[in-house]
Structure 1
Amino acid sequence: MRTLFRWLSPIRWIKTAYRWTKTGFFFLVEYCERSLRFQLILTFSFCILAAVLASSVVNLLTEDMYRRPYVDYSYSMESMDWETRDLARRIQEGEVEDNQYLQELMNRAQELRGVQMLLVDLDGKVLMKSSRATESQVDLYSVISKAMELRSGQNWQGERQEFTAFYPVELNGQKGYVIARGIPEATIQYQVEFNGFVPFSFVLVFFYLFYRFTKRKTGYIEELAASLLVISQGKLDHRVNVRGEDELGSLARNINRMTEELQENIERERRAERTKAELITNVSHDLRTPLTSVIGYLRLLRDNAGSEQERSEYTRIAYEKAEHLKRLVEDLFEYATLSGQGVQLHRQHVSLTGMLEQLVEEYVPLAEEQQLTFCKKLPADRIYVSVDPEKFVRVLENLFSNAIKYGHKPGNIDISLMREGEGVRLTVANKADDLSNEDLRRMFERFYRVEKSRSRKTGGTGLGLAIVKSIVELHGGSIRAELQEGILSFHIWLPADAQEAR
């Protein structure tokens, strides 16, 4: 019962209504801020109301200038007509008991309205009349014509003339008419003529307020148009000022976003052009150097230059250069294949832990020759991934080869594997020279080499890490490089095998 009374409490309902009103008010304000259409509707409505109010005030101040008096008899004539109709109704409904009472009614109407009352038969003979009436015979045709003329609206204003009204009645079984005649009293009425100040003030106030209230929005639209013109002239660093949360503010944000994206696309195209130029230069350099050596040594062999031992050495060097040229062409072909569309992966359910252990064992002798030691940090349980074994082995080989070639000697090559989120993370790390942020960012670009001289002794083709990145991304993973305290780490993330997740 107490809960019921609390629920029916008026204070509770007042608080609830206040909260709803407050919530609705804030919602309306927020909607108004976000909707340009609603802002225009409110502005238009307010301007209309203000213009109506202003024109009403102007009309009150100037209406005396346009009021014209005139003499009107209509009120007195309507009173006479009403008195006649009321008398006829009383006679018709039997409220008049005798002729004496009827005579009193006719005399009273004469005293009150100043009208002569007559009761006539169908031939116009006067059967009864008020005290001031003198007629004994009435021309019904003339009376009816004049009464109909007045009823049709003629002669209600203008010159003062006699008014006539009549209504049919039946008294004691005899049909007749109740006729009233009299001169109506004049009243002074006023007619308001057209006031030109009223519509002028309405139009003036409406357009002035609408112009003032919309000036900021129209000015902002002009500012957006001017900004678009500046951007169209190629000044992509120009930004539009964002004002408000409505459609114009959203348009400004979209213009800025479009400009930023266009600027990024242009910069990307410029980088692509520079990369293309670098690609042509690098490919030309990397192909020309071994090819020049091969041609030079073959020319010496053709000309039988040198001793037998020297020609044998020329043959060996030419063969090595040809092998290097072959590897470069193969790397170019592999990168072009991986970068193209429709690359097919032959995925298998593979133990990444076992793959790492097997491949590390194969690289241990090469690492020991360079005074490097592999340090593995692998989980006790097997971690499975769905990869193309042949291509992913190429990823590991490139990372291990880079670590052996560029790692500080003596030193360690740290390999770790762990689960991370819905995938696994593989890390290959070794001590390395200091690298700039640009080197770390561009390390996976094709033909980019930290060593700018592109010497064959200190660098490879510049395609290894680009191939690694392409293969990892084909498998739905990602790779990044970071340098902390002299340790260069390559982190590969791969999604976990769906079979293992089940």
Structure 2
Amino acid sequence: MYTQQAKRSSLLRYWTTRYALTLVIGLAIILIVSVLWIRHSTLENNLNLNKYMAEEIADRMENSIANDSGGPLKIFPNILEDRSKILNSKKEPSLYIVNENGKVIFSNVRSPGVINSFVSSSFFSSKDTVKKFRLDSPPYDIYVVKSAIEMENGEKGWVLVVQPEKELTEVHQEYSLLLIMIISLGLLGWGAIYFLSRKLTSPIQDVSKAAKRIEAGLYDVNLSENVPQQEMYELIHSFKEMAQKLERLESLRAELLAGVTHELKTPVTSISGLLQAVKDDVVTGEEAKEFLDISVKETSKLQNMIGDLLDFNAFTAQAIPINIETHDALDLVKEITYQWHLAQGNEALSYDINATNKSILVDVDPMRFQQIMTNLLNNAKHAMKESGHITIECSESLTQLLITVTNNGPPISEEEQPFIFDRFFRGEKKKYEVRGLGLGLPFSQMLARAMNGDLFLQSSSNEGTSFTITLPLHTD
């Protein structure tokens, strides 16, 4: 069945485009808000200037009327010229002087009567000094600012400053500066985003390339751990460790295939040769019986190796049940050790058990515990070359029983200690001196953990090697 593959982009392109889009949207919002704020501020400032100009003209009109010194014809030109210079405005506002009846008595526009078409008498009587009006033809908004001309005997009229909203909000230089600033921020932000994203994605791309090499079966990964980010360092460090472990597992797999073939082939070849010799009457009598005994022992070893392999696989697949029972730990240790030592029939092997005389109850599967102890005792025997002394110490903490099995044989090398619980691993010396598949310790550790305990290497030196089993104490 054909499945269309989703189109994918590089990590650098994916994030830079999204960061850039987010940046553009953010700057666009800032631009819009800034334009509205500048427009509003400009409107307020210009209206305040118009108020100031209206009040100033009203004051001058009051003085002019009181002193009879020329009236509005002398006042208007100076006021409008000064305001135009201050605002750098191309268009002057429309100015009107109306009497107390609302009639225009002076203006700087050609058709002063137009003011009466939208300014009603109610505006003069209201307390509002600024009001916005809507004109219909052509449609646009204007603002009217008024200031009363007051004399001792009352109001003599008003000064009106009229200007379209478009002129009051018209700015150019501020918008240009704002646009330059926004564009500069956008380019700077995009450059920073691109640089940082490239710096972040570069080690990820290196890890991706290294993963492809591993996929091709090449484990010589060369990744630099000189990165400032903690998470990136942990990723690269973990990846390199994974690559090294995969390389070692691949080596173990090849070694296992050769080792298992050799370990299984050796007893089969031996049994086949011995039985063939008996069949062909090459040996007879007692010698033939001895050959048959050897064949039986080799068959037993072969069965044990196959049994270990099957048990390990079954336990890994959680197909072997664990039956937890409450037992006296010291009785179990003594009984298992005695039976094991009796089966060895070797006086050169000795042991002792160091423990208190009080009973220690633990929750344990006795059969699985026996498997762990037997494996540790067998390993101790092999390490001591069939002769030596084994010490078993039992102690307890608040929640656990600790059983330490120590032999006085040669130590495990420091290079091999981290791998002794890896499946199918066997040390260099043991590989050639002792038959096996390298499943004893990992299988024993799995059994201990299945009983809510653990198995670990306590120490290994010239004084001996110690393995410790932990088991949970029984609680009522």
Please tell me the TM-score bracket, short chain as reference: 0.5 to 0.7
State how 1:189-338 maps to structure 2 within 5 Å: 194-209=170-185, 211-212=187-188, 215-234=191-210, 237-238=223-224, 241-242=227-228, 253-338=230-315
- Higher-Rg structure is 1
- 1:16-72, CA deviations, whole angstroms, 9 ceiling, x for partnerless residues? xxxxxxxxxxxxxxxxxxxxx99x989x9799879989xx99x99x98684236484
Post-superposition Cα deviations, 1:322-346, rounded to whole Å, max 9, x if no partner, equal: 2222222222222222222243111
How many equivalent residue pairs? 361
Q: 1:427 aligns with which of 390, 398, 404?
A: 404
Alignment deviations for residues 241-297 of structure 1 (CA, whole Å, 9 cap, x no partner): 44xxxxxxxxx6545444444444444433333222222211111111111111112
**Corresponding position of 2:444:** 468
Q: CA RMSD in A?
A: 4.6
Q: Which deviations, in whole Å up to 9, do the C-alpha atoms of 1:86-106 show, x marking residues without a partner? A: 9xxxxxxxxxxxxxxxxxxxx
1:151 aligns with 2:137: no
Instruction: Name the SS for the 1:448 alignment partner.
Output: coil
- Which of these residues, 310, 333, 346, is aligned with residue 369 of structure 1? 346
> Contact 1:224–1:240 at 8 Å: present in 2 too?
no
Return the alpha-carbon distance in structure 2 between the equivalents of residues 189 and 461 of structure 1.
100
Match of 1:166 in 2: none
| Counterpart position of 1:383 | 360
TM-score, normalization: structure 1? 0.59
> Where does the alignment leave 5 or more consecutive residues of structure 2 unmatched?
1-21, 47-83, 120-155, 211-220
Distance 2:161 2:442 in 1: 107
Cα gap change, 1:379 to 1:51, in 2 (>3 Å): farther
The separation in 2 between residues aligned to 1:345 and 1:331, in whole angstroms, is 17
Partners of 2:282 and 2:345 in 1: CA distance: 40
Counterpart-to-counterpart distance in 1, 2:460 and 2:281: 53
**Cα distance in 1, alignment partners of residues 340 and 160 from structure 2:** 128
- Aligned residues of 1:367 and 1:404 also touching (Cα < 8 A): no
Instruction: Please tell me whether residue 68 in structure 1 is matched to residue 95 in structure 2.
Output: no
**Is the alpha carbon distance of 1:359 and 1:70 closer, same or farther for their aligned partners in structure 2, counting shifts above 3 Å?**
closer
Distance 1:306 1:256, change over 3 A: same
Is the CA contact 1:51–1:206 (under 8 Å) kept in the aligned structure 2? no
> Normalization by structure 2: what TM-score?
0.62
2: distance between equivalents of 1:446 and 1:464? 8
Aligned letter for 1:67? S
* Equivalent AA in structure 2 for residue 152 of structure 1: S
Q: Distance in 1 between matches of 2:363 and 2:235?
A: 39
The DSSP-based 3-state class of the residue aligned with 2:410 is coil
**Residue 189 to residue 281, structure 1, CA distance change in 2 (3 Å):** closer
Note if contact 1:231-1:238 (Cα within 8 Å) is conserved in structure 2.
no
**Deviation of 1:393 (Å):** 1.0
Cα 1:239–1:215 change in 2 (3 A) is: farther
- The question of 1:444 aligning with 2:421 is answered yes
Between the aligned partners of 1:302 and 1:367, the Cα distance in structure 2 is: 32
Question: Structure 2 matches for 1:31-46, cutoff 5 A?
Answer: none
* Aligned CA distance change for structure 1 residues 455 and 308 (closer, same or farther; 3 Å): farther
Distance 1:377 1:494 in 2: 17
Ranges in structure 1 where 5+ consecutive residues have no aligned partner: 1-36, 87-112, 116-145, 155-179, 243-251
Asked if 1:478 is matched to 2:454, the reply is: yes
Please give the alpha-carbon distance, in whole angstroms, between the structure 2 residues aligned to 1:194 and 1:468: 86
